[in-house]
Structures are given as C-alpha cells and as structure tokens.
Structure 1
Amino acid sequence: MKNVLNDPVVNVKGIGEKLEQGLNSLGIYTVEDLLFYFPARYDVYEIKPLSELIHDDKVTIEGKVSSEPSLTFYGKRKSRLSFNLQVEHVTVKAVMFNRAFAKKQLQVGDMVTLTGKWDQHRLQITVSNYQKGRAKSDAKIQPIYALKSDVSNIQIKKAVTTALSQYQDDLQEILPEEYLSAYKLPGRLEAVKHMHFPDNHQVLKHARRRFTYEEFLLFQLKMQLLRKRKRESTFGNSQDYQAKDVEKFVEALPFQLTAAQSRSLNEVMTDMRSPYRMNRLLQGDVGSGKTAVAAIALYATITAGKQGALMVPTEILAEQHFQSLQELFADKASVVLLTGSVKGKRRKQVLQEIADKQADIIIGTHALIQEEVVFQDLGLVIVDEQHRFGVEQRRVLRDKGLHPDVLFMTATPIPRTLAITAFGDMDVSVIDEMPSGRKQVETYWVKENMLDRVLQFIQKEVDNGHQAYVVCPLIEESDKLDIQNAVELYQQLQEIYAPKTAVGLMHGRLPADEKEEVMRKFAANDIQVLVSTTVVEVGVNVPNASVMVIYDAERFGLSQLHQLRGRVGRGDAQSYCILVADPKGEVGKERMKIMTETTNGFELSEEDLKLRGPGDFFGKKQSGMPEFRVADMVHDYRALETARTDAQQILASGALDENPVFQKLAQYVYNDKIVKGETLD
C-alpha cells in the first residue's frame, strides 16, 4: 500500500515551486519530512524579574517608557531607535534596529512589553518583538525552526498546519499499544501536533519523551538487525583453538591477568569459537592491558592452525609490538613485521612467508591489507583504534576471500551510552581496572605565571635521566587564537635548554618519514624534550618519559587530555602531567579540576560527555554517530538503555516479522537504507 506521507512536499496545499525549493534546502522533500521537521527551540514570552535574567539570553520584560525615543539613520534604509524603560525602579535601555515607525507609536509613560537579547552588563535589551501594554498571561509557546535560504518561520508554521490538516489521517501509529501504555507515551499524531504547537510545557515534555523513545527504538532495531545480518553472513567461521595450550600460555605469562582482562578474554575467545565472525570492540584505559588480551587471542588463532595479524597506526609502534611479541612467543610462533620501511629482498621474503603460512603472526601498518599481501589462512585481525577498520578495508579482505574474526582496540574510554549507540553493530568488551602496582600519574593544574617553575622541573627530571613531552594546540601562529604554538615554543625551549638538553619538534604537517625519525630519536633518548601537537597522543611507547606538559590545556576535551596523559607513566618512575591553563569560563575550570582529581578514564569520559556533548567526542561528523531529531544520548541515556533492551526482546521473539501489531514499526525498520543493504560494505 502506498505511503502518501512520501508524497513530494509540493502536494501540501499552499506550497508553490519557490517555497518547495526553499524547503528542499532544509532537507524537506516529502510530507513526512515536513511533519517531522521539529522546531529547534521554543520561545516563551514569560516575564521574569531582572535579577533572574541571564546575559545573552532571549528574554521578555515589561515596563514604562521613561524617555523620548531617539532615532538615528545610518547607511541605506538603516535606523537605530533607542529609549529608556523603567522596570522595577531600574532604568533599562532599549534598542531597536530598522523600526523607525515605532518612534511615533511610543510615548513617554506608555506601558510596553519587549522581547529581545539581554545584555546584563549594560542593562540593555536589543528588541526583536514589542507590543504596547502588558504581556498576555496566556501567551503561547512559540516554535522557532532552524532556517536558511528564503524560508521564514511563519511559512514553516503555516505549511505544517496545512500538512497536519491535510494528512493527519495518514499519520499512523507505529508503536504497539502495550509500549504506549507501559511508558505512558502519547500517540504519534498527538505528539507531532504538540511538538510543533505545544499548549504548555507538560504536553511538550511528553511529546519529546515519545519521540526520544521512538528514535532510540528504531535505531537499536536497525543496528541489532545489521549486527545479526553481519554475523549470519559469515557462518562457518569457527576457530577450533586448543584450549589447554592457551591455558598454559596464560599461566606462563610474567604477570597475572586482572579480573577485567580475564572477562574480556573470555568474551573474545567465545566469539572465536562461535560459528559467526567476531566484530568486537575492546576498550580500556591506557596501560590497562589490552595488548596482553590481544597476544593471547593471537596465540589461540595459531593453535587453531590459522594466521593472525595486528594492524597499528605507525611504523615505530609496529616495530615495538614486533619486538615485544617476539619475546613473548619465543619459539611458539613465527612473528614477522611488514611496514613501508621493509623493502627489497626482506620484503619479498616476508611476503613469501605470509603466503606459505611460515609466518604465524604478522605485525604492521595498513600495508598488511595491500594487494601484494596474500594470506593463506587468516583467522584473526586485531586493529589499533587509529586505523578504525573502515568499510574499504573490510571490502579488501572480503575480496581476498577472507572473513577473519576482527577485534578493534581503543584506548579512548568510551561512555557506555556512546558505545551502545556509536558501536551498535559491534559487541563491546571493557577492561575497566588497572594492573596492580602501577603508579598513577600525578596531575597538576598551573597558570602561566608558573611557567618558569615548570621548565625548571622538566630540567630536573631530564637531569635524573628521564624525558618530557610538551604539547600545545597549534602548529603555527594563528590570528584567531592566542595560543602558544609548537614552532615558537620549540625555538624558545631550544634557547632555554641548549646545548645540554636536546629538544625535538613533532607536528601533523611533517612528512611521515620525518615524524617516524623524530619519534625514533625520542624513543632512543637522543631527544630529551619533545615539543608536539596532539599527533603524539597516538604514538610510541616511551617508558622513560616521566613528564607531560600541556599548554593551553583548556582548549582540549577531557578525553584528549587523558589520552595525552597516558603517554607518560609507562615505566617504573613516578610520572607527572602538568596542565598549563587559564580557563575563563566555569566549564573550563571544572575540566581542569576533574583532571587533577581522577585518573580513571571512564569517569572522565562520562564527565566529558556531560560537559561537551557527543559531537566533540568523535568529531563533528563522525560516520558512526547517528543524528537524532529529538533524542539526546547524554541526557536521555535511560531511554536509550530501555530501547536497547526492548529491541533485543522484539528481535529475539521474532515479533517484528511475525506479529501484525509490529507491522508499521517493521516497515520503518526494513525501509532503512542501511538495513536494506544499500550502504552496507
């Protein structure tokens, strides 16, 4: 049956070709798009005392005109009207732009109601709306839509009103009655009406609750269907590893696994033994022992008669893993290294060993999945976070006829709500405890006037045989931001520390081979102080580095600061992180305070999410992050958890396909491009 809500938006009465083009520019192409183009915010013309008004907010005040309005003209047809208003025995200045006609309407002694932007410092309101007389006590909540092009707020309101009248019988319920009843949610038509034209805050709140749940449920159903489809498409992927050999290997390790490591390892091993392909994210703080879990999983895949691969972001990190895994496996496995630097005869030899299955474990950069690399029987691929195994890489492996188990590792502790949402098509394992005996990095927040002491402290640590990172946000001078930059800082520190202490420079604009060379020198202690931009947060393991100084620390999010802090504290020596910052706002000060109080990455990530929102967590347009119209992953995390549980139950019971009550919901789920496979790798 045809869904008339998919009709082009021009079918709504009163919408002509020009308005249709304007609506298209807002992403509104169909009637359904229009009905679900909810307001970005709501204006409530509510009179509040001056003491409760917030600087820069849109506010409404009422008072008596106490001075003759003064009108000045500037530019072509531009004017500025200003007058004083007596509000609660306080004189407030009112300014109106391009409202010259209002001069004749406003007289001294008139009572007026003004709405506009409030300037707390000047006691001034820049007026956007005004009316003579007192404010109406029953003033409605006004929807304000996100607009661009030539479409006005009034046009959208009118178009939505007409569409609701014309198509309301076609706007059918998609949630089963039992869910509406259990969660006390309004019906779909009623909720759409209240989102656009709420009579009061209560009905708006319930309409938002309804669409928050609906969005999360649809998303979770799609993600879990996708996960199920991916799993079932790789049936026959079981790795029959030798459990006793793996147990002996674990017992022979020079350390004991933590409870969190053991739990994560069990989850990984269960996936490897299952008939479906593993698609798992292993997340844990820096130093929590992810690599140990990875090494055991690689050993298990060897005992199953298959090859294993570990893909990391940089050559130097690949070399470090190669050395440590060679020591760990000794004669139990053949470990080879494949990076861009492995050339000539050695490269041919390595490629031959991989093809002949003489190589059990292959460590390298993305060179591992290039055309010339032919695996004989690849069972497990482990990927470091900076090479989030994308669609293209998965396709490359599939084209080679390979469907290995895939384990992603990330040292960015991702809050549970984000992990559920961004990685909805993956299983997630968490290592949330640190190995015993590991020294915590001491963190201090200092202002710029203490820089001399900080630089002296670095020299003291270097004199004791240690090394230091000094990180700052920009590479070169910026007109926009007064931030210490890496090049200038490098030059300053060279002058301060030379010739006794070697200072190096590292930033994103350096060619890859130069970056590698700088990091090699730092790892070898040929450079004692490394000035860097944030490229160093992914990098190399330098156990000798004991100091991390971060300039303009208020410019970074908590998670990024924590990642940077994780570069030190990798050896036996006590390590230190010094945040140089002078944040102006309360949020910035709060972030610095939190950093000095906890080294728990998961606690920090939750706080970061509250303070900054999910956009900054993965970058503004991270491909894995869905955009919801109403739902907010941070504030609505309980609804997200509920929707996830409900989605699991619906799919497990087969209700989506078999129960007619779920028919409308199923249409929305199965019509999605991702679920249909149109954008699937």
Structure 2
Amino acid sequence: MTQDLFAIPIASMKGVSAPKAGELHALGVSTVGELIEYYPFRYEDYRVRALHEVKDGEKITVQGTIAAHPSLQRFGGKSRLICRVTVEGLLLTAVWFNRAFLKEQMEVGRDIILTGKWDQRRRQLTVAESEFPDRGGGRSGTLQPVYSVAGSLTQAWMRQKIDRALVEYGAMIPELLPAELLNRHDLMPRREAILRIHRPENTHEGQEARRRMVYEELFLFELKLQAYRALNRKAPDGIAHKISGEEIRAFAAALPFELTEGQKQVINEITHDMKQPFAMNRLLQGDVGSGKTVVAAVALYATVRHGCQGALMVPTEILAEQHARSLGRLFEPHGIQAALLTGSMTDRKRRDILASLQMGMIDIVIGTHALIQEDVFFRRLGLVVTDEQHRFGVNQRSVLRRKGLNPDVLMMTATPIPRTLAITVFGDMDVSTIKERPKGRKPIKTYWVKHDKMDRVLGFIRREAELGRQTFFICPLIEESEKLDVQNAIDLHMTLRLALPDLQIGLLHGRMASAEKDAAMSTFAAGETTVLVSTTVIEVGVDVPNATLMIVMDADRFGLSQLHQLRGRVGRSDHQSYCVLIADPKSENGLERMQAMTDTDDGFEIARRDLELRGPGEFFGTKQSGVPDFRLANLLNDFAVLEQARDDAAALTAEPAFWSSPAYAGLRDHLKREALASGEPLD
C-alpha cells in the first residue's frame, strides 16, 4: 500500500464514529490502508448445492419451494417455526428458532433459499439464514468474508465499511512487485488480488488472490533481510580477525576431548567469517549435548589472539557460573583471563571486574544481562556470543553488540530451529548446524506414565540410586497456584523426602538466593545429593554427567522443545540414561506431545512437531522472539512460497540495478519506510 492510504485516519470514513474507530484501533486498524488490508480469515459459502453432495451435519445452502403452510410453536418466550419445503423433488422439514415473524411471508408455492445444518436421517434443515429470490439481492450464490470482530462491531458492519473503502480508495492501491516477478510466478495484479480476497466470485479466484498476496507478504519480509545482508556486506566496517590455523589446531589439540567432525566443520565456517572485513552475523544451532560451547570457546580464543576481547551472554546465573568455570579451565593454560559478571555480585567485586574489563586486563567476560548495563565498557570488543539467544529480547542483544565497533556476532541455541523459522527469524544470518553427537553418548530411553504410576517412578529412582546415579525431578511451578492444578517444587520436595527418607533430596528454584542456588547445584554436581527437585531453571546448559534419570511432573504443561531441553540434562556420559514424563494424556495436545517424545530423540524432528502443534508465535515461548506476525501467510503451509520469495529477494538485491533503477523505486521506498535500507541491524 502507498503511504497515502496509511496516512488517512479510519475516523475520516463516513459512518465510522469515534467509538467505532476506537474498537477498530483495538483490532490494529487505525487507517484506511490498514482497513483494506484487514483480510477475512474464512468465508461463509452461500452457493446453492445439491443435497446428494452434502454429508450429515454439514452446513448447506439449498433452493426450494414452500410446500405447505408453516406451523408456529411457542414455549417459554421462545418460538419454533416449522415448514415443509420441496427441494430437488424431495420433501424436507425446515426449522427456524425465534423467527416467528417469517410465518406471514411463507406462502405455498413461493421459492425460498435456505442456509443451515442438514440432518440427513430426519430430512431436516435447521435454518440459520433464509431469503426469498423474488426480493432480489441477498447472499445466495456468494462467498461471504468472515472477519475477526469484537465489541459492537458486526460482520455486516465490517463488510460494509471494507466495501466502501474499496470503492472509494481502490484506485489508490499501488503495485509493489516488479513485472518480472508477476510474470514469472503468474500472479494477478495487486489491486485485483486485494479486491478478490475480500469479494471472491468463486473458490479458485479467492485462492489465486491469496496466493498473490501471500507471495508479496513473504517477499517483502525477505527483501528486508536480504537488503540488510547486501548492505552489511558492502560496508567493510567489521573486524577482519587475523587467525592462525596453527594456533586454532593447537588449542583444539589441548582440549580434554576430541572434536567431532560436525564441530570442526562449524569452526571452519565461523573462523572464515571472522577473517572477513564485515561483521559476522551467524547462528550456531545444535541438539542438546552437541558441543556448541566448545565451538564458542574456539571463536573466543581466536578473537583474543587477534588482540580483542570476547563476551558470552547467557540467560541465567547458574549457566553463567557453569560456563565461567568450564571456559576458565580451557583458557587458563593459554594465559587468557576469563571473568564472571552477574547481577548478584557484591558492588566491590563488580567495580573491580568493570575496571579490569575497560583497561583490557580481562580477555573474556561471561555473564547474564548484567553485561548490558550502562556502566559496562570494553577496551576492544571483537566477538559477542549469546547462548540460548531467543531468551533475550531483541533490544538486549543489540545493546551488547553496540558496546563494540561492529564486533562479530555468534548466537547459539540448543533449541533446534525448523528450517521454516530459521529462514524467517534468522534470515539475515548465516546458519551453522551441528547434528553430530559426541562419541560414546547413548540414546536416552524415554517413557511416559500417568500420575497414578508414582510408586513405579519412585522405584526407578531407587534403582538408579543403587547404581550410584542421580535424578533430576522437574515440576512447572515453585509454589501452589490456584489457576493451575500442578505439582509444585516445594511440595514435591517434601513428598519425596517422606517417600525416600534414606536418600538426600535437594531443592532448586529461581526464587532462591544466589548462594542457596549455588549450594544446591554444587552439592548435586558433587554427588552429595541423590535427587534434585527443581523448576525449569535447570533447563538450559546445566551439566551433571552422573545424572541419568530425568523425571518431569505434569509434562503435558510443557512445550515439546522445552521437554527435549529438559531431557538433554541427562545422557551426558557413557551410562544409559532415561527420561520419564508424568502427564495427563487428556490435556490439550498432551497425548501428541508424549508420543512425539517417545518416538524420537532427534531435536530437529521434535522442533518440527512442536511448530506444528503450537505454531510459530509460541514456538520460542517469548513475544520478543522475532517471529513475524503475517496477515495471510502461514509458515507451515506456505513454506515453499517462503523459500521462493527468499531466493527472489536475494537475487534482486544482488543486482546493482535494484539500488538505482526507477523500476524498483517502489520497493526501495518500502525499505526506507521500514528503516532498513540504511543498514541498521534488524534487532
């Protein structure tokens, strides 16, 4: 749409009062342009069909003739009107509820069109709407759009106002796509497509209109991403790291384990990017336990060897502390100084860390969101690594990046992202994937049981304890909730202490003081605690190789990817590990989730099924995930169109003519309105 249509307030339209305008604003419609692009989510089919085409219980529109005088029944202030109607030579019964006024209009022999639910056994139609052809007009023979409405807004009112907007302003609807793309994909013109989406003559026409607008929606989105990539590549203002292959190989050889082929491959991809004069923007994804942290360690080592500093930001203090310990051990033999920075530090210690960081005495800092506070300064930041990056808001990530002069950026996630979402959410990034698991790791055996099998679960804990192994026991909430009837960590901790008095039962949750959390985690990691009852604070990154049993209470309350993350806390040694999910299969999607978890332990397959069950908006469990809110496109059903749109946008932005030719002025204007043509980072 042109900027002009989006500059016309919706309240300026005839018939749109101030209260109505307010209700439209709540639906995201503030301008005429937004009203025209407020598309229906389905259609009511008022086309006349033959009875033999209809299944029992379906909605149908039929045309017939009134065969007998109607009868009217009244009961409790309500009424039922019954009339015999001949349709296709068949005598059927039509029933209206609370439409007594129609009785006077029903003359024997008069034609009538009926829309309602068909009861095949009774040969009865429960009528929702009816009209008489001799009056003209009406909805019969049409596909009527159905819009999302709320408050006092009705379907009839919304249809009328959109019709008026299309009549008055339809001529102002511009064409955004170049002719070459319209011809290549056989797409109808934009103005016609918008008109036909709102008022399709038939199903095929509506489908073609939607196909055109879905392509445009995905193409314009991909154009932003590809334009950003192209502009970023044109500006060699990043840090061209001088990386010695010999030093990288020496660092890898000093590791206490051998790198997998998958790790070596992504290290090559990352170090290649770091050598380039433009800033790296790469996503590293891999299943739980695939060794992403070691890859990040190699990249951080490389930036320090070039004379820069590195930062690793993680979502929780527990994970930050674990990374600080593990990375500290790896870097210490090479004379690299790593430090921890979290919000719970004492003021004095924090001041010392900040001063050392600013003077360049600290090479690598590991921390939580404390890294993005205003008083945190680097001497020369060369690489930013964010772990489980989707847990940070987009603003938080960009603040850390701006603490250096275009540092390289590496984002990591152990939530394998389906290709669909990787293209949309991370389309401006290069993606590295580790699918290989470290050698010697056995697949985790997964079972699900109902709540009445708790005795068997306790027996499982005892058997693992007798073998010297440990157990994670996870539940969704810290304390009792009136809204959700779920087991909570504090009550569960007491229950297990009574049921297993000879075992040491620990407790860990997010509301504990930092020192208490450290103590709970440390005693469990040291093997002094047999069972750790915890909330999902341990979901990401916590590494206790001796833990071989993961039990999740009320597992149906968790998303599939979150369950897979929890399962990944075990299976981190050569011992056989297990995951037991305690769930109510009758809850929404409960059975499907449990079956998915027991069918496979492949994180990428789990992620694909999670996307199917929950949709892209909920996949990451955060509103700031970057998942676009498309009006028409569906990332599951329109994936082939998404890939085509991405390829088209990449090819177009790679052409010098795109940035100068008048033929593409409309698309360049669109990018300017989106504030992306200036090369600003997308987040």
TM-score (norm 1): 0.86
> Do the aligned partners of residues 669 and 330 (structure 1) sit closer, same or farther apart at CA in structure 2, a change above 3 Å counting?
closer
Aligned pair count reads 672
Q: Which residue of 2 aligns with 1:383?
A: 386
Please give the alpha-carbon distance, in whole angstroms, between the structure 2 residues aligned to 1:278 and 1:554: 39
The whole-number CA distance in structure 1 between the counterparts of 2:104 and 2:76 is: 15
- 1:444 maps onto 2:441 in alignment: no
- The aligned counterpart of 1:519 is 521
Structure 1 window deviating more from structure 2 (558-567 vs 256-265): it is 256-265
**Shift in Å at residue 529 of structure 1?**
2.1
Q: Secondary structure at the match of 1:238?
A: coil
Give the Cα separation in 1 of the matches to 2:106 and 2:480: 51
2: CA distance, partners of 1:268 / 1:361: 18
- Does the CA-based 8 Å contact 2:357-2:378 persist in structure 1? yes
| C-alpha distance 185-366 of structure 1, shift in aligned 2 (>3 A) | same
Alpha-carbon shift at residue 622 of structure 1 (Å) = 3.2
Q: Which residue of 413, 427, 430 maps to 1:427?
A: 430
Conserved 8 A contact 2:116-2:126: yes
Aligned mates of 2:2, 2:544 — CA distance in 1: 63
* One-letter identity of the residue aligned with 2:536: T
1:465 is aligned to 468
Contact 2:474 2:551 in 1 (8 A): yes
CA distance in 2, matches of 1:522, 1:304: 39
Q: How does 1:558-637 map to 2 (within 5 A)?
A: 558-584=560-586, 587-619=589-621, 621-637=623-639
Equivalent pair of 1:311/1:365 in contact (CA under 8 Å): yes
**Judging changes above 3 Å, is the alpha-carbon distance between structure 1 residues 44 and 296 closer, same or farther for their aligned structure 2 residues?**
same
Match of residue 8 from structure 1: 9
Distance 1:230 1:82, change over 3 A: farther
8 Å contact from structure 2 (residues 84, 94) kept in 1: yes
**2:226 aligned partner:** 224
Q: Counterpart of 2:264 in structure 1: which amino acid?
A: S
Deviations 1:301-341 (A, max 9, x none): 12112222222233332332233223323421233333345
Counterpart Cα distance in 2 of 1:648 and 1:606: 25
- TM-superposed CA distance for 1:13, in Å, is 5.4
Q: Cα gap change, 1:87/1:26 in structure 2, threshold over 3 Å: closer, same or farther?
A: farther
User: Residue deviations 1:16-57, cap 9 Å, x none?
Assistant: 656544434433233322221111211124667799467xx8
Structure 1 unaligned blocks of 5 or more: none
Deviation sequence 1:393-419 (CA, Å, 0-9, x none): 456546655432221111111111101
Corresponding position of 2:129: 129
SS of the residue aligned with 1:548? strand
Which residue of 290, 296, 299 corresponds with 2:298? 296
Q: Given the superposition, is the C-alpha separation of residues 665 and 257 from structure 1 closer, same or farther in structure 2, using an over 3 Å criterion?
A: same
CA distance in 2, matches of 1:261, 1:66: 82
User: Please, what TM-score do these two structures have when normalized by structure 2?
Assistant: 0.86
Match of 1:638 among 637, 640, 645: 640
Question: Residues 127 and 504 (structure 1 numbering): CA distance in 2 closer, same or farther, change over 3 Å?
Answer: farther
Q: SS where residue 522 of structure 1 aligns? A: helix
Matches of 1:108 and 1:460, distance apart in 2? 81
Contact 1:322 1:363 in 2 (8 A): yes
Alpha carbons of structure 1 residues 493 and 128: separation in structure 2 relative to 1, 3 Å: farther
Which stretch of the first structure deviates more once superposed, 604-613 or 578-587?
578-587
Query: What secondary structure sits across from 2:654 in the alignment?
Result: helix
Distance 2:450 2:19 in 1: 56
| Counterpart secondary structure, 1:362 | strand
- What does the per-residue CA deviation read over 1:500-529, in whole Å, with 9 as the maximum and x for residues that have no partner? 123334444545554444333333334322
Corresponding position of 1:246: 248
Report the 3-state secondary structure (helix = DSSP H, G, I; strand = E; otherwise coil) of the residue aligned with 1:630: coil
Report how far residue 238 of structure 1 moved: 1.5
Corresponding letter in the other structure for 1:27: G
- With over 3 angstroms needed to count, the CA separation of the structure-2 counterparts of 1:403 and 1:617, relative to structure 1, is same
In 2: Cα distance, 1:87 partner to 1:586 partner: 44
Q: 1:128 to 1:564 in 2, by over 3 A?
A: farther
Q: Structure 1 pair 374/670, CA: closer, same or farther in 2 (3 Å)? A: closer
The alignment partner of 1:336 has SS state of strand
Q: Is 2:498 aligned against 1:495? A: yes
Bigger mean CA offset, 287-296 vs 393-402: 393-402
Q: Which stretch shows the higher mean deviation, 281-290 or 476-485? A: 476-485
Pair 1:82–1:585, CA change in 2 (3 A): farther
Cα shift at 1:562: 0.8
Q: State the distance in 2 between where 1:61 and 1:479 align.
A: 50
Give per-residue Cα distances to partners, 1:553-610, cap 9 Å, x unaligned. 2332221111111111112311101122232379543332221121111111112212
Equivalents in 1 of 2:319, 2:329: separation in Å?
16
Q: Indicate how the Cα distance of structure 1 residues 631 and 599 shifts in structure 2: closer, same or farther if over 3 A, else same.
A: same
Whole-angstrom distance in 2 between the partners of 1:480 and 1:350:
43
Pick one of 264, 280, 286 that aligns with 1:284. Answer: 286
With over 3 angstroms needed to count, the CA separation of the structure-2 counterparts of 1:466 and 1:111, relative to structure 1, is farther
Once residues 471 and 112 of structure 2 are traced to their aligned partners in structure 1, the CA distance between those partners, rounded to angstroms, is 64
Matching residue of 2:34 = 33
1:40-439 paired onto structure 2 within 5 Å: 40-45=41-46, 52=55, 70-73=73-76, 79=78, 81=80, 96=97, 99=99, 101=101, 115=115, 128-130=128-130, 139-229=141-231, 235-332=237-334, 333-340=336-343, 342-343=345-346, 347=350, 349-385=352-388, 388=391, 390-393=393-396, 396-397=399-400, 400=403, 402-439=405-442
Paired residues of 2:668 and 2:677 also in contact (CA < 8 A): no
Q: Quote the Cα distance in structure 2 between the aligned partners of 1:260 and 1:493.
A: 41
Aligned residue type for 2:616: P
User: CA 1:312–1:70 in 2, change beyond 3 Å: closer, same or farther?
Assistant: same
- CA–CA distance in structure 2, aligned partners of residues 604 and 60 of structure 1: 43
Is this contact kept in 1: 2:314–2:369, CA < 8 A?
yes
Question: 2:86·2:92 contact (CA, 8 Å) conserved in 1?
Answer: yes
Provide the C-alpha distance between the structure 2 equivalents of 1:214 and 1:547, rounded to a whole number of angstroms: 49
Q: Note closer, same or farther for the CA distance 1:66–1:642 as it changes in structure 2 (3 Å cut).
A: farther
CA separation in 2, counterparts of 1:586 and 1:50?
A: 33
Q: Which residue of 2 aligns with 1:653?
A: 655
Find the aligned partners of 2:256 and 2:178 in 1 and give their Cα distance: 56
Letter in 2 for 1:426: M
- 1:221-259 Cα offsets, whole Å, 9 max, x none, are 112223445566670422222232112222343433333
Q: Report if aligned partners of 2:300, 2:383 keep a CA contact under 8 Å in 1.
A: yes
Relative to 1, partners in 2 of residues 1:127 and 1:555: Cα closer, same or farther, differing over 3 Å?
farther
- Kindly provide the CA deviation profile for residues 186-217 of structure 1, in whole angstroms up to 9, marking residues without a partner as x: 11111111100111111111111111110011
Higher alpha-carbon deviation: 635-644 or 345-354:
345-354
Distance 1:359 1:14, change over 3 A: closer
- C-alpha distance in 1, partners of 2:525/2:189? 62
SS of corresponding position for 1:256: coil
Contact kept in structure 1, 2:471 and 2:549, CA below 8 Å: yes
Please give the alpha-carbon distance, in whole angstroms, between the structure 1 residues aligned to 2:544 and 2:668: 53
- Is 2:471–2:547's contact at 8 Å kept on the other side of the alignment? yes
1:68·1:108 contact (CA, 8 Å) conserved in 2?
Answer: no
Contact 1:315/1:516 (CA < 8 Å) preserved in 2? no
Deviation at 1:647, TM superposition (A): 0.7
In 2: Cα distance, 1:503 partner to 1:118 partner:
61
**Counterpart AA for 1:150:** S
